[in-house]
């Protein structure tokens, strides 16, 4: 059996090599992303492993079928960039890694909120300029706040546990409530109810067409004054221009964004010698109370190892058995 993995970073390579050694599968690692020009070269490979940072359109799956690739195994959770219908129509099995480390993302989102609440960026900037005064950057404690968690899947639940550890009051909303959490009475009945009560809103839901720009001008108007927004989920959930307006008029006290709706040409690229073309993103970068990180909430040693090894195992199982527990197009 032969696999080819694209977008392989240096921090992933050792996990690919270790897995290959203990299996009977040959795995070729390529640093570059999978692009349409490379599709003809895929003949002879049973599975393709990628990260969901590009798009996976219909013509890609038609080519997979033509050259004999049976499986697309993505080393992450989200499948919003993949034309799953086209994959199914072409008989290609798509697998993901639904739980490589929910804690990695949950911990990062809490980290970012704490930085906002304690004004660490502002203090760091002051200290760098040898200004060691305190006022006016007095902080807030989590135990005095209500945290509204949107999405109570694995990541949302890990975040809830952490917030509870800090003594925060936690409320949540999910179209598909978790039975255990429901018993605890954590859920409110609507987005509007959560917006009205939460001092902090943290997003832990997938991006669907129905939730595109969920956090837009109308939602922001329903929120408490001085609300904090944390997005480690998907950029498309937030209308960035509405968010910028909310920050500028003081409705939103701070935002931490690890995802951005047009992030693909920016995140995980070194653009220091190039002008930033995206004017909305540039405006975000200039705001003092917005923390931007380049989609790194997932990026821990535990998560990276799991992403690689689970994706490989899923691909192997899908090729040999025609199915696997992490199949997403069935």
Site string for ligand COI, 11-50 (x = CB under 6 A): ----------------------------------------
CB burial of 272-289 (b: ≥16 within 10 Å; e: otherwise) equals eeeeeeeeebeebeebeb
In the list 51, 113, 237, 292, the residue contacting ligand COI (rule: CB under 6 A) is 51
Closest approach of ligand COI to the CB of residue 303, in Å: 8
Residues numbered 285-314 forming contacts with ligand COI, rule: CB under 6 A? 295, 298
Selection from 106, 118, 149, 75 nearest residue 258 by Cα: 106
Q: Is 52 in the site for ligand COI (CB under 6 A)?
A: yes
Q: Which tokens hold the place of 42?
A: 């895929």
Q: Determine the distance from the C-alpha atom of residue 115 to the mean position of all C-alpha atoms in its chain, rounded to a whole number.
A: 19
Strand (E) or helix (H) holding 328: none
Instruction: Please identify, among the stretches 51-59, 126-134, 150-158, 249-257, the one whose residues bind ligand COI according to the rule CB under 6 A.
Output: 51-59
C-beta nearest to ligand COI: residue:
76
Q: Give the residues across from 255 on adjacent strands.
A: 229, 290
Closest approach of ligand COI to the CB of residue 258, in Å: 9
Selection from 51, 52, 53, 87 nearest residue 70 by Cα: 87
In the list 30, 62, 70, 76, the residue contacting ligand COI (rule: CB under 6 A) is 76
- Does residue 184 have an active-site annotation? no
Site string for ligand COI, 207-236 (x = CB under 6 A): ------------------------------
Closest approach of ligand COI to the CB of residue 8, in Å: 13
Closer CB to ligand COI, 51 or 69, in the complex: 51
CB-CB contact of 261 with 238 (8 Å): yes
Q: Is 54 in the site for ligand COI (CB under 6 A)?
A: no
Please state the φ and ψ torsions of residue 327, each to the nearest 5 degrees.
Answer: -65, 130
Longest CA–CA separation in the chain, Å:
66
Closest approach of ligand COI to the CB of residue 16, in Å: 16
How buried is 168 (Cβ within 10 angstroms: 0-12 exposed, 13-18 middle, 19+ buried)? buried
Reduced DSSP (H G I as helix, E B as strand, rest coil) percent helix, strand, coil of the chain, to 5: 40, 15, 45
Q: Is 121 in the site for ligand COI (CB under 6 A)?
A: no
- Residues 57/60/62/64 CA torsion (nearest 10 deg): -140
- Does residue 28 have an active-site annotation? no
Closest approach of ligand COI to the CB of residue 109, in Å: 12
Closest approach of ligand COI to the CB of residue 78, in Å: 3
- Given the rule CB under 6 A, which residues bind ligand COI? 51-53, 76-78, 295, 298
Residues involved in catalysis: 234, 263, 295
């Amino acid at each position: 059996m032969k696999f080819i993995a694209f977008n392989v970073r240096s921090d992933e390579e050792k996990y690919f090599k270790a897995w290959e050694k203990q299996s009977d599968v040959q795995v070729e690692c390529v640093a570059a992303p999978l692009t349409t020009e490379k599709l003809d070269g895929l003949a002879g490979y049973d599975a393709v492993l990628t990260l969901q940072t590009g798009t996976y359109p219909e013509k890609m799956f038609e080519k997979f079928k033509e050259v004999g690739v049976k499986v697309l195994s993505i080393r992450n959770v989200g499948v919003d960039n993949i034309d799953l219908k086209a994959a199914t129509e072409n008989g290609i099995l798509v697998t993901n890694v639904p739980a490589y480390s929910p804690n990695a993302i949950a911990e990062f989102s809490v980290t970012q909120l704490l930085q906002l609440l304690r004004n660490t960026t502002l203090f760091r900037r002051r200290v760098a300029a040898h200004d060691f005064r305190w006022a006016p950057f007095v902080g807030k404690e989590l135990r005095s706040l209500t945290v509204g968690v949107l999405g109570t899947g694995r990541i949302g639940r890990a975040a809830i546990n952490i917030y509870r550890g800090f003594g925060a009051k936690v409320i949540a909303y999910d179209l598909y409530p978790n039975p255990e959490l429901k018993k605890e009475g954590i859920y409110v009945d609507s987005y509007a109810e959560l917006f009205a009560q939460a001092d902090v809103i943290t997003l832990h839901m997938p991006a669907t067409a129905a939730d595109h720009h969920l956090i837009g001008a109308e939602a922001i108007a329903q929120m408490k004054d001085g609300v904090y927004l944390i997005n480690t989920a998907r950029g498309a959930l937030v209308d960035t221009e509405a968010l910028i307006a909310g920050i500028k008029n003081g409705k939103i006290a701070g935002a931490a964004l690890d995802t951005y709706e047009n992030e693909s040409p920016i995140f995980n690229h070194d653009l220091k010698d190039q002008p930033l073309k995206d004017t909305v993103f540039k405006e975000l970068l200039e705001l003092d109370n917005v923390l931007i990180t380049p989609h790194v909430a997932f990026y821990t040693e535990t998560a990276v190892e799991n992403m690689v090894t689970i994706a490989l195992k899923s691909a192997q199982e899908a090729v040999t058995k025609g199915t696997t527990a992490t199949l997403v197009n069935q």
